[in-house]
């Protein structure tokens, strides 16, 4: 089950979600990195290592994965597809393109 999250509601949708992963891929390997995103001006700023920065330089499509909170009875994961760019200060900015709350259908 997926529920679309309008991009203008992302800041509210991410409040209280602390554990987050950045997934980047350059077609040869995937990198999954735990990050602590900061929401600013409609984007997420995250710190990444050199390997992930090189991966993003080759292919900028990324996914931010916000797992469900322990106290969330609905157990939705927030998935944010976006485009990453490395900034001059070495940080990474992810510009969201779409977002969904997702969970497996209960049987």
Q: Give 26-74 pLDDT, tens digit per residue.
A: 877 888 999 999 999 999 999 999 999 999 999 999 999 999 877 776 7
pTM equals 0.90
- Integer Cα distance of 3 and 13 in angstroms: 12
So what CATH class is 2-102? mainly beta
**Residue 40 and residue 55: Cα distance in Å, rounded?**
23
> Where does the pLDDT of residue 17 fall: very low under 50, low under 70, confident under 90, or very high at 90 and above?
confident
| Cα separation, 65 vs 14, whole angstroms | 10
Residue 89 vs residue 64, higher pLDDT: 64
Enumerate the domain spans of the chain: 2-102
């Amino acid at each position: 089950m997926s529920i679309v999250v309008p991009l203008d509601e992302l800041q509210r949708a991410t409040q209280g979600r602390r554990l987050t992963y950045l997934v980047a891929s350059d077609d040869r390997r995937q990198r999954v990195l735990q990050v602590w995103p900061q929401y600013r001006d409609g984007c997420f700023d995250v710190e990444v290592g050199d390997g992930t920065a090189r991966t993003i330089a080759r292919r900028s499509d990324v996914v931010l994965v916000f797992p469900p909170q322990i106290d969330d009875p609905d157990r939705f994961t927030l998935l944010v597809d976006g485009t990453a760019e490395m900034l001059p200060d070495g940080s990474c900015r992810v510009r969201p393109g779409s977002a969904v709350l997702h969970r497996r259908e209960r049987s």
